[in-house]
Amino acid sequence: MPMTRAPTAFETLIGGLDPAVLPASPPGTDPRYCRDWSGDYAGAPATVLRPGTAAEAAGIVRRCAELGLSVVPHGGHTGLVGGATPSMAGDEVVVSLERMTRVRALDPQNFSMVVEAGCILEQVQEAAREADLYFPLALGAQGSCQIGGNASTNAGGLNVLRYGMMRDLVLGLEGVLPDGRIWDGLKVLRKNNVGYDLKQLFVGAEGTLGLVTAVALKLFPRPTQVETALVAVDSVAAAMALYATARRGLSDLLSAFELIPQRGIALALDVMPGLRAPFATDAPAYVLMEASACGAVDLKGLFEGFLGEMLETGRIADGALAASSAQAADFWRMREGMIEAQARHGRHLRTDISVPISAIPDFIAETDRRLGALTPGSELLAYGHVGDGNIHYNVLPPRDLDEAETVALIRQCEEEIFAVTDSFSGSISAEHGIGLSKRAAFLDRISPLHRDMLERIKTAFDPAGTMNPGRILPKSG
């Protein structure tokens, strides 16, 4: 007689689901669900499920809860802290939002749109542009990351100094709680002052409180004028002085302000074919700055006048205002190339810290001093969205180290950078979040009361601890 065995929890979960929910290839074979962008994290999903609607997502989460299975919400998988990579144990169900890609509503007069969580950020930007509107979140991964992932990580990016982080751009949210109930908080109101702001609990929760299935977003008038300049400065201090002057001198129309060190330009030139050094002579640091406006403002005149004055008064060493959108794109390719070159270098330390804007020069000088002594053979690279106080202080270890030595060096450098960050009352995560990789360092830095409050919020939403367990807080039980 043939032996019959009881179905496993995973077989029970999958049984009866619409086949469209299952991925084309078996779970564990598609690198999209197993490896993160950085290559630092790898995992083995028990299975991958791809709901097409909020109701379907809720049904999956409810069944997982009934079967005691853990859920890992999965967006575009561009996160850099290991939050969406399932564990190696093969005991976590990946729920990917990739099929939920509808724009549910767009209201030009209300300057708002409602989109499903699986919409790629670039698609959201494009949908707004088609309506002559603007969604300002912009980041290097925008062709892959999803708006639900952006909300769940409280993404920042290039335009934060003018428009804020994702937290500032979310008007409403729809989420599936860990027990499978759907919370409809999809209002498109600017003012809604009714006690605790529940949508904001999902923003930045990194999938630990539930699935985000849709968000209502704030839109803005589409900038019809954009001016981009690359300027050379004598020091980081000069760059930050320029920032304060530029906010005033450009009538607060500044929308991006990126610090790029000389070494960053050299790295970009190595990997970006066709790019040329921006100026005849090198400078210690460069700033890529952008201002944008709509309506009758003469932005070009304003920017030209500002740069002229900065040159005359010696506050910048050199500068070029992009003469065309192609030249502006080349300026931005310098920044992208610097990141690409680091990825090609292989394993390296990537940090994402913030300090008060005014403390940036001292922070970088002190970190340079300490790391220079600690690791003389490494390349040190400090760049980023400094208009928000955000610095990526990265370390490229010498290539002749073996794997174990590289890992040890990275850990040591990270501890040092975080210690300097603490001394400036900064944050060890400006925008990438905590996930798995920053959890220990984060928990070491918060008070018992802070931790108790976080744990109570987690338990209130997810008493069984099955929603993205181990991210931000350790697994319960």
Ligand X SMILES: Cc1cc2nc3c(=O)[nH]c(=O)nc-3n(C[C@H](O)[C@H](O)[C@H](O)COP(=O)(O)OP(=O)(O)OC[C@H]3O[C@@H](n4cnc5c(N)ncnc54)[C@H](O)[C@@H]3O)c2cc1C
Structure tokens at 345: 């270098």
Q: Residue 279, SS3?
A: coil
Q: Least distance to ligand X from the beta carbon of 226, Å? A: 18
Interacting span for ligand X (CB under 6 A) from 7-15, 143-151, 274-282, 314-322: 143-151
Binding mask 6-45 for ligand X (x = CB under 6 A): -------------------------------x--------
If the CB atoms of residues 63 and 438 are measured against ligand X, the closer one turns out to be: 438
| 156 belongs to the binding site for ligand X (CB under 6 A) | yes
Q: Which of 349, 363, 353 is CA-nearest to residue 433? A: 353
Q: Does 183 bind ligand X (CB under 6 A)?
A: no
DSSP string, 385-418: -GGGTEEEEEEE--TTS-HHHHHHHHHHHHHHHH
* Strands (E) located in 234-282: 254-261
Residue at 225: amino acid letter: Q
CB of residue 305 to ligand X, shortest distance in Å? 30
Nearer to ligand X (CB atom), residue 243 or residue 303: 243
- 206 or 330: CB nearest ligand X: 206
CA distance 440 to 473: 9
Give how far Cα 477 sits from Cα of 449, 459, 466, Å: 20, 11, 11
Check residue 410 for interaction with ligand X (CB under 6 A): no
Amino acid at 117: A
Amino acid (1-letter code) at residue 289: M
**CB-based closest residue to ligand X:** 149
Q: Which two tokens stand for residue 398?
A: 């010498």
97 near ligand X, rule: CB under 6 A: yes
286/228 Cα distance (integer angstroms): 13
State how far Cα 374 lies from the chain centre.
29
By the rule CB under 6 A, 354 interacts with ligand X: no
- Side-chain-side CA neighbours of 417 within 13 Å: the count stands at 29
Q: Closest separation between CB of residue 437 and ligand X, Å?
A: 11
- Can you tell me the distance from the alpha carbon of 141 to that of 389, in angstroms, rounded to the nearest whole number? 21
Q: x-or-dash pattern for ligand X, window 426-455, by CB under 6 A? A: -----xx--x--------------------
Q: Which stretch binds ligand X (CB under 6 A): 10-18, 205-213, 313-321, 440-448?
A: 205-213
In whole angstroms, the minimum distance from the beta carbon of 18 to ligand X comes to 19
Which listed range, 76-84, 224-232, 303-311, 445-453, lies at the site for ligand X (CB under 6 A)?
A: 76-84
Residues 6+ apart with CB under 8 A from 247: 254
* 384 lies in the binding site for ligand X (CB under 6 A): no
SS3 283: coil
Binding residues for ligand X, how many (CB under 6 A)? 37
Q: Rule CB under 6 A: choose which of 69, 119, 128, 139 binds ligand X.
A: 139
**Cβ proximity of 206 and 468 under 8 Å:** yes
Binder to ligand X among 63, 74, 162, 392 (CB under 6 A)?
A: 74
Q: Using the rule CB under 6 A, which residue among 157, 249, 389, 465 binds ligand X?
A: 157
The residues that touch ligand X, with contacts defined as CB under 6 A, are 37, 72-80, 83-84, 97, 117, 139-141, 145-146, 148-150, 152-153, 155-157, 206-207, 211-212, 339, 431-432, 435, 468, 471
